[in-house]
Copies of this chain bind each other. A is one copy, B any other.
Amino acid sequence: MSGSTFGKILTVTTWGESHGQGVGAVVDGCPAGLEISEEYIQSFLDRRKPGQSEFATKRNEADAVKILSGVFEGKTTGTPISLVVYNTSQISKDYSNIKDVYRPGHADYTFSKKYGIRDYRGGGRSSGRETIGRVAAGAIAMRILEQFGIEIFAYVTQIGDIKADPQKFDKEEIRKNPLCMPDREAYVKASDYLKGLMEEKDSSGAKVECIVKGMPAGVGETVFDKLDARLAYAIMSIGAVKGVEIGDGFDVVNSRGSENNDEFYMSGDEVKKKTNHSGGILGGMSDGSDIVLRAAFKPTPSIYRKQSTVTEDGKEVEIEIKGRHDPIIAPRAVVVVEAMTALTIADLLLLDRSKDIY
C-alpha cells in the first residue's frame, strides 16, 4: 500500500497491525523546543482505550506509548519523533473461523482483492488499533496548536435518533459519561438504546462534532488544499466515517443565500461575523470564527448475529463473529477526530508561516 504518510510539513507516517509486534507513528516536521513526554501522549491514548465502560470492549490493552526518538531532555529537538505502542494483549487465538471468510462491513474482501495476501488476525492493518498512531501524533500537533492559542475538542451529538440538545450543551459533561455526549439526558437515553441493541446482538452508528476555538483567519490554501478539503480528507480517512460536513453542512441544501451568508460587522477593531453558517471557513481559509465539523460513524460492523457471506475460495457460508466488540464506534473515536483535526490544522498553520517573508 501507499499513502501511510499524512501532511505536508508536519507529517505523520503510521504503521502496524492489530496482532503484529505493535503499532506506531513517526512524526516529522515538528518544531524544536516543545515539551513532550510519554505521560502527555499517554493521556490522549487513554481516551481511546478499550475496556473503560460497558460500551467498550473488555480487552485489557495497556497501550503504553514509548518515545524512541526526537525528544531530548523533555523537549522536541526538531528531528523525527518515533512513537510506538507494543502489542501486549493480542493473544494468539483461534482465527480459523474468520481466516478465510470475508466479514460483511469489513475490509477483508477488499484487502484480499488488492494484495492477494492479508494478515487476518484481528483485522490486521484495518483494525481500529491503527488509530493509535493517529492519536499519538495528534497529541504532538495539539502541543503546536497550544502555541497559537488554539483549542480543539469533539463529542458525540447523536446515537441512533437520540440527539444531544444544543441548548443543554455542557462541555464538562463530555468527559464524564462513557458515550462522550455533552448532554447528560441524551446520554442516559442513548445508554438505554445501546443496551437494547446489545441484547439484540446489534450495533449503532453515531455523529461526532468537533470544534476548533482560537483559530486565526487566513489559514488554508485557496484551491485544492482548502482547509475544509484537508479536514474532509483527514476525517474521512478514519475507518467507519461515511460523511463529513463543515458548518451547516448538508442543511445548506435547504437553505437560501440570504440565510446562509454570514454578515460581517465590526467589534472594536476586529471583523466579526453575526452568524457562523460557514463553520469558520470561507473560500477554503479560516475566517476567524470557530471551526465546526461533523462526522458520521457507521455502526460497528462486527456483530454477534449470524450473517451471510462468502469464503476466499468462493463458498457461501454463515458466520458468527466471536470476540469482544463495541456496540458503537464513535465514543472511542472522539479523540481520533480531535487528533486528525489537530494534525490538519497544525500542518496548514506551519505552511502558512512560509507566506510571510518580509
**Identical copies in the complex:** 4
A176 at the interface (CB under 8 A from B): no
Task: Flag whether A307 is at the interface (Cβ < 8 A).
Answer: yes
CB distance from A327 to the nearest CB of B (A): 8
Contacts of A286 in B (CB 8 A): 110
Check A68 against B22 for contact (C-beta < 8 Å): yes
Tell me, rounded to whole Å, the shortest Cβ–Cβ distance linking A19 to chain B: 9
Within 8 A of B (CB), among A292-338: 296-303, 305, 307-310, 314-316
B242 near A243 with CB under 8 A, answer no
Residues 268-285 of A, flagged 1 when their CB comes within 8 A of B and 0 if not, give 010100100011001111
Cross-interface CB contact of A355 among B5, B32, B204, B274, cutoff 8 Å: B32
The 8 A CB mask of A247-288 against B (1 = contact, 0 = none) is 111111111111111111110010100100011001111111
Indicate if A191 sits at the interface (CB-CB under 8 A).
no
Given known contacts A22-B68, A111-B285, A250 and B260 CB-to-CB distance under 8 angstroms? no
Q: Are B358 and A147 in contact (CB under 8 A)?
A: yes
| Contact status B257-A299, CB under 8 Å | yes
Asked if B77 and A119 sit within 8 Å, CB to CB, the answer is yes
**Measured CA separation A315–B285 after assembly (Å):** 22
State the CA gap A17–B19 with chains docked (Å).
Answer: 28
- Closest residue to A5 on the B side, CB-wise? B5
| Chain B hits for A310, CB < 8 A | 264-266, 271
Q: How far is the CB of A117 from chain B (nearest CB, A)?
A: 5
